[in-house]
Structure 1
Amino acid sequence: MSDDVAAKAHLLKDILSPPALVAIAKWYGKVDDVSSAQMAAINSKSMTLTCKIVGRSQKDVVITMKPKLASYKDAHDRLFEMKALAQEGLGQVKPPKIRSFRLQPTGIPDGIFIFTLFPYLMFSPPHGGSSLFVPAQLAQSYVDVKYIGMAFAAGVGWHALNTLYTWTLCWKHSIPFGASVAYTGMTMFTGFHTWVDLKKRIREARIEAAKKSQ
Structure 2
Amino acid sequence: MSDPVAANADLLKTWVSPAALASIAKWYAKAGEVATAEMVSIDSKNMTLNCRFVGISHKTVVVAFKPRLASYEDAQDRLLEMKAISQEGLGKTKPPKISSFRLQSTGIPDGIFIFTLFPYLMFSPPHGGSRFFHPAQLVQSRVDGKYIGMAFAAGVGWHALNTLYTWTLCWKHSIPFGATVAYTGMTMFTGFHTWVDLRKRIREARIDAARKSA
Could you say whether these structures have the same fold, taking a TM-score greater than 0.5 normalized by the shorter chain as the test? yes
| Mean Cα deviation higher: 88-97 or 45-54 | 45-54
1:26 aligned residue: 26
The residue number in structure 1 matching 2:188 is 188
For the residues of structure 2 that align with 1:84 and 1:60, how far apart are their CA atoms?
A: 22
| Paired position in structure 2 for 1:93 | 93
| 1:102 matches 2:98 | no
Report the equivalent of 1:204: 204
TM-score under structure 2 normalisation? 0.98
RMSD in angstroms over aligned alpha carbons? 0.9
SS of the residue corresponding to residue 5 of structure 2 reads helix
Q: Which amino acid aligns with 1:109?
A: P
Q: What are the equivalent positions in structure 2 for 1:127-206 lying under 5 Å apart?
A: 127-206=127-206
Runs of 4+ in 1 over 4 A off after TM superposition: none
The SS at the match of 1:209 is helix
In the alignment, the residues of structure 2 paired with residue 142 and residue 9 of structure 1 have an alpha-carbon distance, to the nearest angstrom, of 62
**Per-residue Cα deviation, 1:119-178 (whole angstroms, up to 9, x for no partner):** 000011111100000110111111111110110010000000000000000000000000
Match of residue 70 from structure 2: 70
Cα distance in 1 between the residues matched to 2:146 and 2:60:
62
Q: Percent identity at matched positions?
A: 77
Letter in 2 for 1:112: I
Moved more, 53-62 or 180-189: 53-62
TM-score (norm 1): 0.98
Find the aligned partners of 2:31 and 2:64 in 1 and give their Cα distance.
Answer: 14
Give 1:11's aligned residue: 11
Q: Report the alpha carbon displacement of residue 56 of structure 1 after superposing the two structures with TM.
A: 4.2
> Does the residue aligned with 1:150 lie in a helix, a strand or coil?
helix
Q: Equivalents in 2 of 1:33, 1:198: separation in Å?
A: 33
1:81 aligns with 2:71: no
Letter in 2 for 1:66: K
Q: 1:111 aligns to what?
A: 111
Output the CA distance in 2 between the equivalents of 1:202 and 1:2: 32
Q: Give, in whole Å, the separation in 2 of the partners of 1:171 and 1:36.
A: 33
Farther-moved stretch of structure 1 (138-147 vs 54-63): 54-63
Aligned length: 214
Cα distance in 2 between the residues matched to 1:146 and 1:53 = 63
Output the CA distance in 2 between the equivalents of 1:63 and 1:78.
12
- What secondary structure sits across from 1:8 in the alignment? helix
Give the unaligned 5+ runs of structure 2.
none
- Structure 1 residue 99 displacement after superposition: 0.1
Rounded Cα–Cα distance in structure 2 between residues aligned with 1:104 and 1:145? 33
What is the alpha-carbon distance in structure 2 between the residues aligned to residue 57 and residue 147 of structure 1?
A: 65
Provide, for residues 30-56 of structure 1, a one-character-per-residue CA deviation record: whole Å limited to 9, x for no partner.
Answer: 122322211110000001111112224
Give the Cα–Cα distance (whole angstroms) in 2 for the partners of residues 22 and 107 of structure 1: 40
User: For the residues of structure 2 that align with 1:105 and 1:128, how far apart are their CA atoms?
Assistant: 37
